[in-house]
Structure 1
Amino acid sequence: MADDHHSGRRKLADKHAPAGIMGDHIHQPGQWMVEYKYMNMYMEDNRIGTQTVSDQAAIDWGATSHPVTNRGATPTQMTMEMHMMHLMYGWTEDISLYSMVMLPALTMDHLRGPGNPAGSGTSFTTHNSGMGDLGLGALMRLYSDERNDWLLNLGCSVPTGDLFRTSSAPTAGMMNQTLPYPMRLGSGTFNARPGVTYRHFFDLCSFGSQATADLPIGRNDRGYRLGEHYRLSNWFQCLMTDNWALSIRDQHDWRNNISGQDPDATDMLISTNVENFRGGYWYSLAVGTQFTVGKNYFNAEIVPTIGQNLDGIQLETDYSIIASWSLAF
């Protein structure tokens, strides 16, 4: 493709999609881009399907659920932070290569249940942080003209995140237990991460749509694989000036339950170890801003969750915050 696909209209503040979108643009041959992205997802209160329940109700519900759960504890809130280092390189006019190093930090608060030897009704916190799974891939331009771009994302993840850490916090130091599924740093499997993105540029605004999937391959060393994750996002950006844009974006997430079982996961202890209580549907509506300062590009969004329908009982998602800085050279 000619070099004009990377100039003119596509140099303005909406040249990149909102902060929650990855894989939406490619670079000129020989051009590098470095990016730091920070993401924080906050969850509080348990939800059964579409209904929010109290902490005590979550423990009581677990006594008659199938399987029985939350006898050891129930989660009450969780913060999922992610620091991401992103590197892109324009290999050809139509192909850019990328890598992503993930550094998650996970914190979950709990209320002990009636089967906990440390005492029912008391609270504790678990934390885990370190390197997550490594992302690798290529972005390919399928079609481009003066106003439109179609991109294909051929991505994957490599299982570099730790699955084996333990904690003695649930029993107040009496014994170590393997951290439950959402507190682990990676999937433990190689995952295919395909995606397709469409963008249309008007004179003073732009529209985009992206569909992606996260598809685990096989099972990990603990005998399970995470559920498939499908996402659809649509966004609209409006230029306030050449260097500043505002955005609005909707996001649909569908996640399947875990396949297989970790032999160290005991369903009766806590709902976060129940494989059939990990799937569901989430709908979010994000507002954001993008702006440039010289060669520096800044991007930020706040992403409240508007609706969710969860399998079994899980912590509900309240909102996410996403912010990034990038530089192309």
Structure 2
Amino acid sequence: MATMKVKGVAVTALAGALLASGASAHEQTFRPDSHAPAGVMVDHAHNKSEVMTGYRYTYASYSGMYQGDSEIGASGLAAAGYSMMPTAMSMEMTMLDIMYAPTDRLTLMLMPMYMTMSMNMAGTGMMEHAMDMGGSMGMDDSMGHGHGHGMGHMSHEVDGFGDTNFSALYKLVTAEHQTLIGTLGVSAPTGKVDLKNPDGSFVHYGMQLGSGTWDATPSITYTGTAGALNWGAQASAVIRLEDANDSGYALGDKYGATAWGALRVLDWMSFSARVNWTDQDAISGHYNGAHNHSSPADIQANYGGEFLDGALGINTVVTGGDFAGLRLGVEWVTRLEEDYNGYQLGLDDSVNVNVSYAF
């Protein structure tokens, strides 16, 4: 997996140093497993007047082209009429996690984010394939516009603020060893969806920084504890509330379910295992300005799919001293099963990091 960039490593190292300085105290005030693994959000609420500030970092790397659940090479894409193919992609997401509880049952959350994405491209040799097949291009004559003529390599990167999520978490059940939290959220379209290539054409749909639409983000989360064991499950959705954004399209609705178990091995440390299922529709609509059709990432049908991921994580918390309540969670995620819509880059691995402090 590609190395994470300096900003994520620096924050993780700083949090680790703080944990090391305070973790010698063993007061049973805080449990490391009282929060879900680092890749799960809106999993816990707070007591009246409590504030939590947090930092979340996600890094994901992608390589290898897939059609459905099978890997496909450049010749297969050329035969399908594509002159360019993505060879690798990375995505970084940095989020602030700010929570405040006006009552014992209600917690409000604000989560702004910053995105960085880069993609490498290479020619598929479509021109040579077309000549071998008698000169047919296979798709419209605009193939390759803005990406050269199907030969060589190129890369591009985008960065900027993404969408901003506002959520209200409500404690539906607050038994001694069980909780049930319902969340109603909305994602505001603060991320750009009109980023352009140097030639003035839109970048790939997946390289835009936000959805461009107002989106509902409901979820329901159950957690339970018994001794050193902790478990939980969450069902969630992202539902587009508009038919199209200002650039003419809308990302597909997304539905997910995840379940995890954690074992507390020390007063201040727990290990977790998690499975995560997602199902996302393809993009609807179409760019309303000049755009390419030369690679799979330029076509709306090549987005979404059904996936099953597995994850292993570690949660730590400072249990006493000046930094009591400071938490650090790290989780590694890998893809177990995939069924991509159309042609897409496959997920290699991703890493989630979460640092938080409540007061």
Query: Could you say whether these structures have the same fold, taking a TM-score greater than 0.5 normalized by the shorter chain as the test?
Result: yes
Question: Is the CA contact 2:89–2:118 (under 8 Å) kept in the aligned structure 1?
Answer: yes
Matched, 1:253 2:278: yes
1:113-262 mapped onto 2 (5 Å cutoff): 113=124, 114=127, 115-116=143-144, 118-168=148-198, 175-218=199-242, 219-262=244-287
How far apart in 2 are the matches of 1:102 and 1:85?
Answer: 6
Counterpart among 6, 19, 38 of residue 57 in structure 2: 38
Question: Is the CA contact 1:290–1:300 (under 8 Å) kept in the aligned structure 2?
Answer: yes
SS in 1 for 2:77: helix
Counterpart among 89, 108, 114 of residue 103 in structure 1: 114
SS in 1 for 2:301: helix
Deviation at 1:263, TM superposition (A): 2.6
Matched, 1:316 2:335: no
1:41-62: per-residue Cα shift (whole Å, max 9, x none)? 11101100110112x2353132
Closer/same/farther in 2, CA of residues 276 and 10 from structure 1, 3 Å limit: farther
Matched, 1:48 2:78: no
How far apart in 1 are the matches of 2:29 and 2:179?
Answer: 11
How far apart in 2 are the matches of 1:153 and 1:9?
Answer: 29
Misfit runs of 4+, over 4 Å? none
Q: TM-score, normalised by structure 1?
A: 0.90
Deviation at 1:275, TM superposition (A): 1.3
Closer/same/farther in 2, CA of residues 265 and 79 from structure 1, 3 Å limit: farther
Of Structure 1 and Structure 2, which has the larger fraction of its residues in strand?
Answer: 1
Partner of 1:171: none
Q: Alignment RMSD, CA only?
A: 1.6
Q: Show structure 2 runs of 5+ residues with no match.
A: 1-26, 128-142, 319-323
Give the count of matched residue pairs.
308
Question: Is the CA contact 1:265–1:273 (under 8 Å) kept in the aligned structure 2?
Answer: no
Further displaced range: 30-39 or 109-118: 109-118
Deviation at 1:193, TM superposition (A): 0.2
Question: Is the CA contact 1:249–1:286 (under 8 Å) kept in the aligned structure 2?
Answer: yes
Question: Is the CA contact 2:144–2:292 (under 8 Å) kept in the aligned structure 1?
Answer: no
How far apart in 2 are the matches of 1:57 and 1:40?
Answer: 30
Deviation at 1:35, TM superposition (A): 0.5
Q: Supply the AA of the counterpart residue of 1:198.
A: Y
Partner of 1:304: 334
Q: Supply the AA of the counterpart residue of 1:309.
A: D
Deviation at 1:266, TM superposition (A): 4.6
Larger radius of gyration: 2
How far apart in 1 are the matches of 2:60 and 2:68?
Answer: 20
How far apart in 1 are the matches of 2:289 and 2:114?
Answer: 25
Further displaced range: 95-104 or 117-126: 117-126
Closer/same/farther in 2, CA of residues 122 and 85 from structure 1, 3 Å limit: same
Deviation at 1:186, TM superposition (A): 0.2
How far apart in 2 are the matches of 1:213 and 1:203?
Answer: 32
Question: Is the CA contact 2:201–2:292 (under 8 Å) kept in the aligned structure 1?
Answer: no
Q: Sequence identity of aligned pairs in percent? A: 28
SS in 2 for 1:252: strand
Deviation at 1:10, TM superposition (A): 8.3
Deviation at 1:307, TM superposition (A): 1.0
Q: TM-score, normalised by structure 2?
A: 0.83
SS in 2 for 1:130: strand
1:157-215: per-residue Cα shift (whole Å, max 9, x none)? 000001111123xxxxxx23211110000000000000000001111111100000000
Counterpart among 62, 65, 68 of residue 80 in structure 2: 62
Question: Is the CA contact 1:88–1:99 (under 8 Å) kept in the aligned structure 2?
Answer: yes
